[in-house]
């Protein structure tokens, strides 16, 4: 039965209960009221007339009005004949009365009339008794039936009151439970109701929804699993090592390359806390600790390989949820770089000897021992000499660079006088300075302590500073060379009033092959990079202060 029908039946039943009770009550009371009215009208009034007529009969002898009163009551009686036999008695009363009117002293009529009144009285009294009994019976019967109906209706109402709430609450509870299961992602759960109503329809709709959600979840899961496998395959096919961590540094995954590098299997360490693994594994320790170290030399698979380490933070909605370490295999580039360095070293070395002999031959030619040269020939020889000097400088820088790149800087650190280094360098650039009419201003503090340095390399750096200062200074400019003590260090500074260096380039100035855009390409861009390596290899520091359009100050510190 539908819920609507159930509600209609329940409420309809209550309506019928009220209706039946109302009708029954009204009918019973109306009937009892009618019976009482009948008794009053039919019989009680007759008794009143009879009494009045008897009274008038008694007063006939002395009251003339009595006859008239009698007739009035007799007429009322004649129009209120209700009982069997009452009509005959009334006729007899009329007959006696008519006789009495003709002969007022007729005692027979008198007696007949009294008897007739007596009879009418008796008939009506009996009728009152009879009707009272009938009314009592009707009242009893009404009470009986009302009690029966009341009892039956009470039982039915009581049963409904007990059972009806369950008709609604039981399925509502089942539905609520089913919906909670769905909310908890238990899409396999179904709602079963043993009734054919709207609740059943709702339960069926919810079951269908759960079925669809189940299908969706399964298809989604399959899709996600497929995607996961695809990504795993891609990661495993890569030549780079990839290791994933969650935000708490637990290992999430590692590909085949990183398995080989670490010498560990993903299945064994997946989900483990990386620092715990690092306790037993050197490479993991380096990967976790050396955040800034980008190039790693790793011995794995019976060979040395070079990897570039990139740490990628994985974030979601602005929150870091893990990181991925990518170890890019740069061994082929390393090998190529090594080949290049070796090639440059060999070529530079091989060029040095012929350039030196060219220089020597030029000197012989210039000294006129081989004959007198004309003015034009002298100019040509000077030009060739300049070029071979430059070539020698370049090959020297390239050779130094190869030493730096291979890590083969040969240092000969001794305690040396800063004055000696200063003198050596200034003498080396004197000719250059003179050519441009540049004054070299020397400011050397007194009693400077000796420094722990490789004299040759330190002088090389100072010469490089001076050569640049002279090159980038205007004709007749001034270059100041200063040495002074600062704390337990000695500072060597070269200041010029040249064009200076723009602030955007100062951070790159010590990079290999860097030249400020717009600079003549005659140099290599290696001088300052080599200077930095030489000074730092000796435990010193190198710096630049420059103001574009004002001049530059290159300086370094060495331990005294
Ligand atoms: P190179 O002089 O051979 O090009 P360096 O490493 O010695 O290489 O210098 C790199 C660059 O720095 C130069 O090309 C030049 O642009 C800039 N530079 C160096 N010294 C100065 C200086 N004193 N004034 C202005 N620019 C300079």
* Least confident segment among 152-166, 172-186, 280-294, 438-452: 280-294
57 and 100 inside one domain = yes
Please say if the pLDDT value at position 128 is more than 70.
yes
Please say if the pLDDT value at position 266 is more than 80.
yes
Does residue 496 line the site of ligand 1, with CB under 6 A? yes
* Least confident segment among 25-39, 110-124, 302-316: 25-39
Q: Does residue 138 lie in a domain region?
A: yes
338 and 414 inside one domain = no
pLDDT tens per residue, range 459-506: 999 999 999 999 999 999 999 999 999 999 999 999 999 999 999 999
17 and 145 inside one domain = yes
320 and 367 inside one domain = no
Examine the fold and report which residue of 405, 429, 457 is the final residue of a domain before the chain moves on.
405
| Domain count along the chain | 4
Distance from Cα 524 to the centre of ligand 1, integer Å: 9
CATH of the domain at 521: 3.30.565.10
Please say if the pLDDT value at position 292 is more than 70.
no
Examine the fold and report which residue of 358, 387, 405 is the final residue of a domain before the chain moves on.
405
Does residue 525 line the site of ligand 1, with CB under 6 A? yes
| pLDDT, greater one: 455 or 371 | 455
483-487 CB contacts, 8 Å cutoff, 24+ apart: 483/418, 483/419, 483/422, 483/443, 483/444, 483/445, 483/448, 484/443, 484/444, 484/445, 484/448, 485/445, 485/448, 485/449, 485/560, 486/557
Token pair listed for 299? 């011995």
Q: Does residue 221 lie in a domain region?
A: no
Q: Residue 483: in which H helix or E strand, if any? A: strand 478-486
Q: Does residue 187 lie in a domain region?
A: no
Q: Count the helices and strands in the chain (H runs, E runs).
A: 16, 12
The pTM score is: 0.54
97 and 246 inside one domain = no
Does residue 477 line the site of ligand 1, with CB under 6 A? no
Token pair listed for 487? 């704390």
Per-residue pLDDT, averaged over 320-339, amounts to 90
Strand partners, 125: none
Give the Cα-Cα-Cα angle 256, 262, 265 (nearest 5 degrees).
55
pLDDT tens per residue, range 377-404: 999 999 999 899 889 989 998 998 898 8
Distance from Cα 520 to the centre of ligand 1, integer Å: 10
Please say if the pLDDT value at position 1 is more than 80.
no
pLDDT tens per residue, range 34-93: 878 877 788 898 999 999 999 988 888 788 888 899 999 999 999 989 889 999 999 999
Examine the fold and report which residue of 169, 198, 227 is the final residue of a domain before the chain moves on.
169
User: What is the model's pLDDT at position 293?
Assistant: 61
| pLDDT, greater one: 525 or 300 | 525
Q: Does residue 176 lie in a domain region?
A: no
443 and 504 inside one domain = yes
Give the separation between CA 89 and CA 96, rounded to whole angstroms.
10
Which stretches of 193-255 are DSSP H helices?
198-237
158 and 43 inside one domain = yes
Judged by DSSP in three states, 132 sits in helix
269 and 377 inside one domain = no
7 and 156 inside one domain = yes
User: What is the model's pLDDT at position 153?
Assistant: 82
User: What is the model's pLDDT at position 244?
Assistant: 94
Distance from Cα 89 to the centre of ligand 1, integer Å: 162
What is the position in ligand 1's atom list of the atom closest to the CA of 531? 6
Q: Does residue 51 lie in a domain region?
A: yes
Domain that holds residue 244: 238-328
pLDDT tens per residue, range 6-42: 788 878 888 887 888 888 888 888 888 887 887 778 8
Q: Does residue 204 lie in a domain region?
A: no
Q: Does residue 192 lie in a domain region?
A: no
Give the Cα-Cα-Cα angle 112, 117, 120 (nearest 5 degrees).
125
Please say if the pLDDT value at position 427 is more than 90.
yes
CATH of the domain at 379: 1.10.287
Q: Does residue 196 lie in a domain region?
A: no
Sheet arrangement for strand 303-316: 251-254, 241-246, 319-329, 303-316, 295-300
275 and 399 inside one domain = no
User: What is the model's pLDDT at position 58?
Assistant: 87
pLDDT tens per residue, range 226-257: 998 898 888 888 888 999 999 999 999 999 98
420 and 291 inside one domain = no
Per-residue pLDDT, averaged over 283-312, amounts to 80
369 and 475 inside one domain = no
Cβ atoms 491, 555 nearer than 8 A: yes
pLDDT tens per residue, range 148-186: 888 988 888 888 888 878 888 888 999 999 999 999 989
Give one DSSP letter per residue of 171-189, joined into a string.
Answer: HHHHHHHHHHHHHTT-TT-
Question: Which residue from 400, 436, 464, 468 has its CB within 8 A of the most atoms of ligand 1, so it is best to mutate?
Answer: 468
CATH of the domain at 267: 3.30.450.20
Per-residue pLDDT, averaged over 342-365, amounts to 91
Give the Cα-Cα-Cα angle 463, 467, 472 (nearest 5 degrees).
150
What is the position in ligand 1's atom list of the atom closest to the CA of 529? 6
Does residue 468 line the site of ligand 1, with CB under 6 A? yes
């Amino acid at each position: 039965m539908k819920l609507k029908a159930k509600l209609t039946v329940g409420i309809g039943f209550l309506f019928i209960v009220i209706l039946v009770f109302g009708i029954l009550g009204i009918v019973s009371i109306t009937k009892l009221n009618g019976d009482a009215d009948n008794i009053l009208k039919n019989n009680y009034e007759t008794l009143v007339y009879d009494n009045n007529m008897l009274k008038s009969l008694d007063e006939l002898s002395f009251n003339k009005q009595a006859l008239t009163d009698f007739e009035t009551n007799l007429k009322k009686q004649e129009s209120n004949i209700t009982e069997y036999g009452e009509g005959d008695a009334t006729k007899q009363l009329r007959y006696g009365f008519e006789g009495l009117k003709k002969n007022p002293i007729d005692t027979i009529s008198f007696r007949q009339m009294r008897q007739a009144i007596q009879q009418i009285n008796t008939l009506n009294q009996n009728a009152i008794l009879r009707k009272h009994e009938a009314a009592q019976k009707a009242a009893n019967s009404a009470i009986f039936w009302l009690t029966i109906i009341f009892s039956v209706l009470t039982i039915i109402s009581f049963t409904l009151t007990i059972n009806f709430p369950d008709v609604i609450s039981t399925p509502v509870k089942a539905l609520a439970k089913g919906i909670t299961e769905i909310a908890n992602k238990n899409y396999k759960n179904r709602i079963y109701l043993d009734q054919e109503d709207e609740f059943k329809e709702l339960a069926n709709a919810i079951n269908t929804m759960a079925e669809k959600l189940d299908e969706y979840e399964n298809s989604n899961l399959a899709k996600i699993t497929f995607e996961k496998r695809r990504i795993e395959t891609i990661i495993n096919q890569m030549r780079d090592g990839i290791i994933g961590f969650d935000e708490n540094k637990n290992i999430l995954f590692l590909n085949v390359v990183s398995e080989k590098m670490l010498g560990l299997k993903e299945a064994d360490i997946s989900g483990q806390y990386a620092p715990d693994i690092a306790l037993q594994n050197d490479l993991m320790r380096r990967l976790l600790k050396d955040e800034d170290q980008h190039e790693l030399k790793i011995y794995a698979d019976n060979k040395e390989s070079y990897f570039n380490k990139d740490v990628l933070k994985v974030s979601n909605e602005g929150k870091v949820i893990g990181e991925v370490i990518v170890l890019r295999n740069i061994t082929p580039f390393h090998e190529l770089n090594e080949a290049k360095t070796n090639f440059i070293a060999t070529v530079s070395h091989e060029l040095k000897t012929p350039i030196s002999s060219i220089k020597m031959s030029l000197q012989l030619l210039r000294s006129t021992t081989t004959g007198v040269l004309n003015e034009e020939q002298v100019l040509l020889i000077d030009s060739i000499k300049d070029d071979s000097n430059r070539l020698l400088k370049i090959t020297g820088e390239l050779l130094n660079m190869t030493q730096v790149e291979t890590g083969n800087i040969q240092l000969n650190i001794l305690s040396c006088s800063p004055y000696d280094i200063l003198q050596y360098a200034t003498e080396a650039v004197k000719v250059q300075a003179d050519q441009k009419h540049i004054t070299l201003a020397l400011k050397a503090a007194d009693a400077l302590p000796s420094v722990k340095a490789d004299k040759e390399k330190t002088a090389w750096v100072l010469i490089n500073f001076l050569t640049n200062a002279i090159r980038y200074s205007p004709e007749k400019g001034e270059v100041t060379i200063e040495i002074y003590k600062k704390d337990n260090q000695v500072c060597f500074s070269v200041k010029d009033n040249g064009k200076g260096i723009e602030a955007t380039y100062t951070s790159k100035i010590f990079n290999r092959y860097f030249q400020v855009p717009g600079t003549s390409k005659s140099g290599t861009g290696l001088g300052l990079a080599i200077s930095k390596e030489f000074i730092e290899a000796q435990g010193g520091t190198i710096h630049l202060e420059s103001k574009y359009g004002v001049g530059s100050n290159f300086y370094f510190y060495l331990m005294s």
